[in-house]
Amino acid sequence: MRYRVRTPDGELTYSSMREVEMAYTYGLVGPDDEVLEEGKELWRKASTIPILARARPERKKIAPTHVLSVLAAVVLGVAALSLILSDSWTRRALGVVLALAMSTLLTRVTYKAFKRPGPTQG
């Protein structure tokens, strides 16, 4: 049986309740999103459907390496700024290099933090 899910971003169709449940667990379907079963006319909030109400959305944990990486980026940023504001051209160049290193580090942390795992087979 097919299910339509209406979110603020639009509407999606799922081929089974299991797919809707997986999307709910991954956070693609929220508790306030509306679900319509094929052949029915009443839209229901996802949080009122027993199968979905029992499903636990995955909780994202902050990895300790991310915290350390962000702290390192702050230190690099402060050092880069202080070197860039100095009078020596050599120090300014070193400050620019540190600023580039900081931006690379923050890009890597952001990519890893928001990378989503794919759906698992089950």
Helix (H, G, I), strand (E, B) or coil at 121: coil
Q: What backbone phi and psi angles, to 5 degrees, belong to 12?
A: -130, 155
Quick check: 1 pLDDT over 90? no
Reported as a pLDDT band with limits 50, 70 and 90, residue 26 is: confident
- Residue-wise pLDDT for 85-100, tens only, equals 999 999 999 999 999 9
pLDDT on residue 122:
41
Helix (H, G, I), strand (E, B) or coil at 28: coil
pLDDT tens digits, one per residue of 55-87 = 876 566 777 887 888 899 999 999 999 999 999
| Residue 37 neighbours by CB under 8 Å, 6+ apart | 1, 3
